[in-house]
Structure 1
């Protein structure tokens, strides 16, 4: 489907549930690339007035049709959400291996929603999605957390981590 995998992974942290939804050809044609897809998801799913720091906000990770190919500058992924700073749409672009691995796992987007009861990380290994306890890594720097997670999962795993505030 024009460089798309045709699947969106929805991660519900509140209920520890992962579901796969189809990405239609109509959406792919109307909303170009990962940026267009993420903006459409947020537009469709966020109610006006949603508090950016509430479980009702969503964090959407997307990749474009060239991600995972040899095309120059195509190893990008985009995080999109309603910004706590401005209360409006915001996006951040990242590089490295994560975007390509997301595509190789079969997904064009991951929608993260809800709120976990306790520190949780999500381990995605192709069609297998697991919600795992992250209390042992809570407060670690990103480098230390990465090393710990490699030992706990797979040395070849690609990940997104964030440092504590």
Structure 2
């Protein structure tokens, strides 16, 4: 296994600081794909009253387990708390 496939990169846009962290044990297996892993991070890190447009909200970019293994498998999921509904928001992009 690549050393980077079990890590996330955190970027604080207000300070410009970055940090690499390991994905907690079992999360990559239990929450498959970018959407699943992203949803788990939001559940863990956001309190129910988090303002969707506030600084405490998170914006995550996650790849699935096949990213980089198959030709043209370059899709990623973007997850956050929706400003429209206040619920989970996911969107996808990718390309060669």
Q: Provide the TM-score with structure 2 as the length reference.
A: 0.88
**Residue equivalent to 2:80:** 81
Task: Within 5 Å, give how 1:140-155 maps onto structure 2.
Answer: none
* Cα distance in structure 2, aligned partners of 1:35 and 1:54: 22
* Cα distance in structure 2, aligned partners of 1:89 and 1:24: 21
- Supply the RMSD in Å over aligned alpha carbons: 1.8
* Cα drift, residue 71 of structure 1: 5.2
**Segment of structure 1 superposing worse, 49-58 or 23-32:** 23-32
* Cα distance in structure 2, aligned partners of 1:77 and 1:29: 17
Quick check: which has more Rg, 1 or 2?
1
Q: Which runs of 5+ in 1 are unaligned?
A: 98-165
Q: Provide the TM-score with structure 1 as the length reference.
A: 0.53
Would you tell me which structure has more helix in proportion to its own residues?
1
* Cα distance in structure 2, aligned partners of 1:18 and 1:55: 16
**Residue equivalent to 1:55:** 55
Query: After TM superposition, what 4+ stretches of structure 1 lie above 2 angstroms from structure 2?
Result: none
How many residue pairs were aligned?
Answer: 95
* Cα distance in structure 1, aligned partners of 2:58 and 2:25: 23
* Cα drift, residue 25 of structure 1: 4.1
